[in-house]
Amino acid sequence: MGAQDGAVPIHLRTRLAVLVMAAVLLIPIGQSSLRGIDHILTCSERVQTPFQVILSDGIPIVTGSFALEQGDPVLLCGGLAVEISVGPSSERDVTVFATLRNESIVDWYGTVDLSVGDVRVPIDLGRVPSGSSLEESIDLSLGEGVTEFSGALLIGP
């Protein structure tokens, strides 16, 4: 039996097997998503800042409530305080501010994964050194009516 009988040469079969194995090993990488973050994720916690923005005739009205208990501020991921707020924007409908205060003894890289209605918007905070804080803002255009906001803190070393 030789190549004349329609059999695939051994060197071609070997290369094909290597390509198939490489493709199988790359499936998890192709199906993964960093969700807009650029650091290794070691902690993810929900940010408790419920509010809504009602856009009526192009004027944003912010509503919400959050009950604070007496004592220490709520710390996430072992020493991080996150505050999400909304204000007027000169370019779009609203500006969303994400502030991260690092009260731990180590530096962290942070992203706030903001859910605006059905759309996820990552706000990259970058490196936040120990004992400091960082604020980032993003201008958003909203549709008419009520838009709900929620967020999650995505932290890594």
- pLDDT tier at 30 (50, 70, 90 boundaries)? low
pLDDT of residue 132: 92
Count of alpha carbons within 13 Å of 33, Cβ hemisphere only?
A: 4
Per residue in 39-70, pLDDT (tens digit) is 566 777 777 666 777 777 767 777 766 555 65
- Per-residue DSSP letter, 102: E
Determine how many CB atoms are found less than 10 A away from the CB of residue 128: 19
Rounded to the nearest angstrom, the gap between the alpha carbon of residue 31 and the centroid of all alpha carbons in its chain is: 17
Q: Where are the beta strands (DSSP E) in the chain?
A: 43-56, 59-64, 80-88, 94-102, 108-116, 119-128, 133-140, 145-156
Instruction: Report pTM.
Output: 0.64
Is the per-residue pLDDT at 144 higher than 70?
yes
Mean pLDDT on 1-21: 79
pLDDT of residue 81: 83
94 Cβ contact list (under 8 Å, min separation 6): 53, 60, 62, 86, 87, 88, 139, 140, 142
20, 13 contact by CB (below 8 A): no
Is the per-residue pLDDT at 72 higher than 60?
no
109, 156 contact by CB (below 8 A): yes
Q: Which residues sit opposite 154 in a β-bridge?
A: 44, 111
Per residue in 73-126, pLDDT (tens digit) is 678 788 888 887 777 788 888 888 888 888 888 888 778 887 777 777 888 888
Query: For residue 117, which phi and psi values (nearest 5 degrees)?
Result: 65, -120
